[in-house]
Structure formats: C-alpha cells, structure tokens
Amino acid sequence: MSGQKSSLRPIVVAANWKMHKLRSEALEYLEDLGTWMDDHPEGLGTRVEVVVSPPFTSLELAVEHRPPNARIYAQNMHFADQGAFTGEVSPAMLRDLGVDGVLLGHSERRAQFNEHDAALGEKVVAAAEFGLRPMLCVGETLEERQGGHAEEVVRDQLETALGDLDVIKATSSGLSIAYEPVWAIGTGETATPQLAQEMHAFIRDTLSSIFTAEIAERIPVLYGGSVKPENAHELLSQPDIDGALVGGAALEVDSFSGIVAAGLDVVSGSEARA
C-alpha cells in the first residue's frame, strides 16, 4: 500500500448520536453545525463529507434542517419494504423521509440486539436497492483480538454481509465500511494509528477479493472507536483510514467539528504534497 491517501476516496466524518437528543436539542445542534460548516466551506461536500445519524424521532427534522453539504443517515432499518414487523422501519420509509443512508451492523446492534451477518447482508442489498447509502460496521471484540482472530472475524463479517451485493451496486450505492474495534468503543481506548491502518489495509484487500481492486479503491473505510479532536488528525492521516464514525465526541458540535476540521487539514496537506 502507498503511504499517501488516495484522491479516489473522500474523508467521511459521521456523527452517530445513538439514543441521544430530543427534537429541540437536535435542531439546536443542526443549526450550530450548519453555522460552522458555512464558515468552513472549502472542501466540505467534496473532499470531506459530513454525515449526521440521529435517532428515528429526529430523522425528518434532520432532513428538513440538514446543514449544507451534509448527509443524514438512519441508525438501522429492516430489510423488507413493508410487512408485519412491529417496531421496525423499512428502507422505503427512510427514502420517503428523504434520508440519504443508513448505518448497518453497529457493534451495539450486534452485541445487544443479536444482529448477525446474514441478516445484515439482506439489509445491505435492500439499502442499495432503495437508493440508501449503506455504511456497514465491522470489528472484533477484545477476546477475538487477543486470541489472534481479529482478521478472520472481520473477513467473515465482510464476506457474509457483502457477498450478495451486486458489483455494480457496490460502486453506485455509496457503500462505505466502518471498522470498529469493539474494545475501543466508549472505553476511551483507541487503536493506535498503525494498528488501525493495518486493519484498514486488510479490509481493503478483502474488499478487493469480494469485488475488484478498482472498486475497493473507491470504497471509504472509516475508523470508529473513541475518535476525538485530539487524535483525529493522526488517525485520518493514515493512507487507508478514510474517515471516522464518531460516537461520544459527536454529541457536541465543538468536538465533532474539531474532527471535521482535522479531516479538512489532512486533505489540504495531501493536496499540497501532490
């Protein structure tokens, strides 16, 4: 792998609010983020993409008040377009709201709600079919990493969840991958930039085997796991780390915008060296 970042992929910085923020709080956040983005237009929406992923109750509001050049993602969905699935939300419903994409397979969904890779494969295909940009989350637990199985686990997650995705859809759907070392989520622990880069390079190699090397070069692979303004620049500077899926630090505009600013700084530095 080259030591330089590819111009084929944008840096994507995604705010996952999880189960936080009432509608009034969501509106205030979106307005403040929009003001910050208005003040930093250079590169936003092109080389650096911003994603906001609110809870379902604030999705419509977020679509209506989305910051300029930002995308709105749901945090989950069912794979069916309709049916007797109490409490679920379909891809058709998300498209009807004007949502741009959806997080799929977050480690909390896997661990707490027993989501498995085969079902996620159906969700990825359904999202692509309905014009929603899928962001598939993968990652190993501490026990799996200590046991030397991290790459095996991540490879199996990718192959099972993406195996039925048409090669054309892999490029046209806006697919992205978020690598979350489960042991680094909400713990304050962060994979070193070098360790994260190694796994991201492995993920890109796996994507090459699932699709093609050309397609893999165009799929952003984000890092998720206690990303903060203080460590964002070093992480985002790695050649195969194409962004960040941010949890706790995304709940305040000041800290989230600091991570976006780090992405802008990395991009401007890469372009200056080109």
Give catalytic residue positions. 106, 180
DSSP-derived letter for residue 252 is S
Can you list the pairs that 65-70 forms with residues at least 24 positions away whose Cβ atoms lie under 8 Å? 65/27, 65/30, 65/31, 65/34, 66/30, 66/34, 67/30, 67/33, 67/34, 67/37, 68/34, 68/37, 68/38, 68/41, 68/44, 69/37, 69/41, 69/44, 69/45, 70/33, 70/34, 70/37, 70/45
* Contact assessment for residue 130 and residue 92, using Cβ atoms and an 8 Å cutoff: yes
Cα gap 239→220, rounded to integer Å: 11
Would you state the structure tokens that stand for residue 102, as one six-digit string?
């959806």
Q: How many CA atoms lie within 13 A of 14 on its CB side?
A: 35
Cα gap 158→96, rounded to integer Å: 29
* Contact assessment for residue 216 and residue 249, using Cβ atoms and an 8 Å cutoff: no
